[in-house]
Amino acid sequence: MPSPRTRPAAVLLLASALAAFGLGPAATPAAAATVPVGSGSYSDTRPPGASGPTTNTGTPVTPKVTAAARNRPVPTNDWWSSLAFQRYGDNPWSTPMYGHPLTYQATAGGLDVGYPTSPAIVGDGRQYEFAHKRDLTIGLTGLNSPDTKADDWSDWTVTPLWSDGTRTLRTTIGHGSPFVYAKGTGGNAQITTAGAPTVFADQGNVLGITVAGHHYALFAPSGSDWNISGSTVTAGLGGKDYFSVAVLPSTSALSTFTKYAFSFVTDSKATWSYSGGTVRATYTLTTEAKEGSERGTLQALYRHQWLNTSDALTSYTYVSPRGTMKVREGASFTTSQKASAVLPALPKSDGVDAARLRGYLNDVVNASDPFSGASDTYWTGKALGRLAQLVPVADQIGETGIRDRMLNLMKGKLQDWFTAGGANEFSYDKDWKTLTGYPASYGSDTELNDHHFHYGYYVYAAAIVAQYDPAWAADSAWGGMVKTLVRDTANPSRTDTAFPFLRGFDVYAGHSWASGHQGFAAGNNQESSSESTNLSAALVLWGSATGDTSLRDLGTFLLTTESEAIAQYWFDADEQVFPSSFGHDTAGMVWGSGAAYATWWTANPEEIHGINVLPVTGGSLHLGGEKAAIRRNIAEMERENGGPAVEWRDILWEFQSFADPASAKSKWDAGNAGYTPEEGESKAHTYHWISTLERLGAPDASVTGDIPTSAVFTKGSTRTYVAHNHGSSARTVTFSDGKTLSVPARSTASGTGSGSPDPDPDPDPDPPTGNTFQLRGGGVLTTATGGTAGSDTIASAGGTNHDGTPYQPLVYEARGVNGTLTSSAATTFRLQVDAGTAVGLGQQARISYDLTGDGTFDRTETYQYFATDPVTGWEEYTQARGLKSATGTLGNLKGGTVRLEVWSAIGNASSKLQTGTDKSVVVIPFS
C-alpha cells in the first residue's frame, strides 16, 4: 500500500546470468536509449524530468560503497541499507541498524553497539521500541573517519569500512550474531563505553565487562592485554590486525564465547528446497580461524526459525523486538515447514449464484475505465490485480467472453508498460542496478522503496495471462520483461552483475523490507506484508504456468517463510512477541526496533488491520493458519473502530472468512449493498470469495498437497481438497493425509473426504463477561462456552526441580477484563491433566492479575504442584492443593489481564492439559 517511502525498479539483462538462471532472453544495453527484451523493451535512461535516488534535499546520490564493492549490485531495502544509501546529507556514516540481538550505528570514531532489552511504548501507546542505545563504540585509537562505506556483504551479514587516511577499520556484523568481528590497521583496538565498565573477568587478552547492565566480552589477539582508563579500554594488537567483541547472555557464558572469538564469519548463505509439500531451508555461516583451528560459531535464531527447526539449541537466549532469540552452537541450522498453499482462485462451488456473479463481473468489465485512471506503477498494479482475480472466476461459470475481455485488458496494459518510449515505461539505473517504473510513486524512484509491492501485481497479472495464453508468456514475447521485473525484486542469483540477490527479502529476518535507504532511527520497516507475499505467490503461479520450477520453488520458499514471520511479528499469533505493555493484537508496521499500530497515511483502525491482508488472493490462504489470531484481530478492530468495518469492509470480511466463514457471509449478506469496494477489490471477487469459503470452510493448513498450487478447506468433519494443474497432461496430487486427487491438464479439480474437524473452530471470545474462563488452544482464556475438547502439551521438567518457578510454561491470557473485586472471595480453578504412564510428574499452576493492563502484574498466586499418577486418563488439579506463595494485592480490574501459567514442577516427561471444555477453567473473584 502507498507510504511516504518509495518503490524502485530496474532491469539489465546479461547473457551469462540469464542463461544460468533462466530469467529471460539475453539483452545487453547499448548506447541507445531503448533495450529490447523479446517483444518488449525498457530504457537505459530515465524519462525527461524524472528523478532517481536522491538525498532528502533532492541531491542525486550513488551507492556509498568501497572500490572493492563498486561493481556489485547493492541489495538496497535491507536492514543495513543506510551504510550504502546516504539519504541525509549530513550523515555520511549510517542511521541505527538493527541486527538483533545487537544494534549498531556507524559514526566517525567507529561502530556504536547496543543491546536494547527493555521496550519503550511511544506514540500514545501505538508503538513499541527496543530502540538503539549505545553501550560501547568499537574503534581504533585516533580514528576519525569522514564517512563509512559498505565494503562487503552476504545474505545477512555486512562489512562496513572506515578510513581516515591513517587508520582503517573493518567490522563484520549480522543478524543473529552476538559477535562483532573487527580488523584494524594504524592504531590499537579501542572500546569506548557509555559509562565506566565493571570488570567481571580479566584473562589478559580476554576481558569481561558489564556496561549498562549488559555483559560484553572483548577478545584481542593472544599475547595482548586490555587496559582500562575510565570509559576507554584499549589493547595493542601485537602486529596482528584482528579483535572481536561479543554480547553475552550471562557472565557464565564467557568460556563458551571465548571458544569462538577468533572464528571470524566471512560469508552467510541461505539455501532452500521444496518437495512433497515441505519447504526446507538451511542457513550457513562460513568462517575463518584467526587463531587456532576452531571454525564453528554461535548464532541466535529468531522465533520463526527456532519454532521450525529440530536442530539442537543451547540454553542461551537473547531479548529482541521479535521475542526471544535462541542460540545455536554450530555454523548452520535447517528449518522445515509445511508449504503455504497458492491457488489461481478459489474453486467453483454451489455456494455461488452464477447469475448474481455474472452481474458483478459485467459491472467491472463494462466500466468506462477499468483501470480507474491509474497512471503510476502502484495504482496500475492494483487495477491489474483486481482484474487478475476475476479471470478464473469468470472462467468457472462459463463466461469465456468476459474472461477474454479481461485478459485483453490486462495484456494491453502490461504491454504498454513493457514497451519503452511511451507515457509509461521502465528504465534501468546502472549505478543502483535497479529497474524503476515511470511514472513512479511513493518514493519508488527517489528512495528505491516498495518495488516488491508494486511489481508483484504485474507478475501476478502476467501469471494469470500465462495460465490462459502460454505463447504470450514466452521469453521471446512478453515473458522476458516479466522475468526482468522478477530479477529486480526477487533475483535468486548471487552472481548476476545487473541486479542484487533478492533485493528486499531478508532471508534471515524472514520477511521483506520496504524502505530503500533505511534512513530511520527505528531502522528499516515494512507495512503491507501481504503485498510482499503477493509477489511470492505470483512467483509460484508464474513458475507453475511457464514450467519454471526454480522460480516456483523460490516463490514457495519466500511465501512459506514470510507467512510464519507475519504470523509472529505482525499478528503475534502465539502472543509471545509483543510486549504486554503494547496493548494491541496486531501491528500495521514492523520496524527494526519493534512494531507500530499504525500505517503511513492514516490512524483509521480499518486500514491498520486491513493493510496486512490486501490483496486477498489465492496466495493469501496462509493467513488461515492462525485462526485465533484472526479472531483477536477482528475483535480489536471493531473495538478500536467503535463497530464493524465500514470503509474497508470487503477486505475485513474476507479476512474474517479465513477463520469464521459463516460470520463473514452473514456480514456480507447484511452489508453488501451500497458500499464502495477497496481500490484493489470488486464486488464480484468479494462475493465469490466469501460465498465459496462459507460453503467449503476455512483453509486448513494442517494438510498439504505435493504441489504448491494445492490447498485444503475444512467445514465440520468434511475436508475439501483442491489443486490446480498448470501442466499439459493430467496428474495425481497426493495430500499429506493420504488423500489423492486426479487433476486434468490446465484445470482446477476438487474433491471431498472426511477428516478431523477444523483444528481451531472456536469463535473469538467477546470482551470477557462473567468470571469463569475456559482454556483454548493458542493461549486463550475465554468466557465463551461450547468449545471443542483438545489438549496442549506441558513440557517436561527435564529431571530438574522447578517447584515454584515457571519452566517452559503453557500461558493462557484474557485481556481487557473489567470486574469489581468480590469481598472475601478467592481464585479457584480446576484443570484436567494427564501424565499418561509416566512416573514422578507434577504439574504446577500460577495465576496472575494485571489490574489495569499496563503490563505489570499486581497480584501473583502460585499453587502447590499436583502429583499425577502413572495411569492414562484425565485427573483434576484444583486450588485445593493449596497456595504455595502469593505476592501483591488484588483490586478492581479495569481493562486488565488475567494470566494462567501451567508447567512441570518435577519429572522427566511431558504431560497434557485439557482445553476447550468446562472441565478446565479458572474462576476469578470478580463480578
Active site residues: 450, 527, 531
- In angstroms, the CA 364 to CA 310 distance is 49
Give the residue among 134, 233, 237 at the shortest CA–CA distance from 183. Answer: 237
* Stated length of the chain: 927
Q: State the burial class of residue 547 (Cβ atoms within 10 Å of its Cβ: 0-12, 13-18, 19+).
A: middle
**Burial class (CB within 10 angstroms; exposed 0-12, middle 13-18, buried 19+) of 491:** buried
Task: Determine contact, residues 459/25, Cβ cutoff 8 Å.
Answer: no
Is 251 within 8 Å of 261 (Cβ atoms)?
no
What single-letter amino acid sits at 705? Answer: G
User: Which H or E run includes 381?
Assistant: helix 377-396
CB 351 within 8 A of CB 300: no
Strand 263-275's sheet: what is its strand order?
A: 263-275, 278-289, 332-338
Q: Alpha-carbon distance 415 to 480, whole Å?
A: 12
| Contact (Cβ atoms closer than 8 angstroms) between residue 648 and residue 607 | yes
Backbone phi, then psi, for 541, in 5-degree steps? -70, -40
Contact 493, 503 (CB under 8 A): no
100: alpha, beta or left? (left if phi > 0; alpha if psi -120 to 50):
left
Residues 6+ apart with CB under 8 A from 501: 73, 75, 155, 491, 492, 493, 494
Pairing of strands 790-794, 911-915: antiparallel
Residue 425 vs residues 11, 684, 849, 906: alpha-carbon distances, Å = 12, 30, 59, 67
> Is 709:726 a contact under the CB 8 Å cutoff?
yes
| CA dist., res. 920 & res. 780, Å (int) | 12
d(CA 502, CA 579): 31
Query: Could you tell me which of 657, 681, 618 has the C-alpha nearest to residue 363?
Result: 681
| Cα 139 versus chain centre, distance | 33
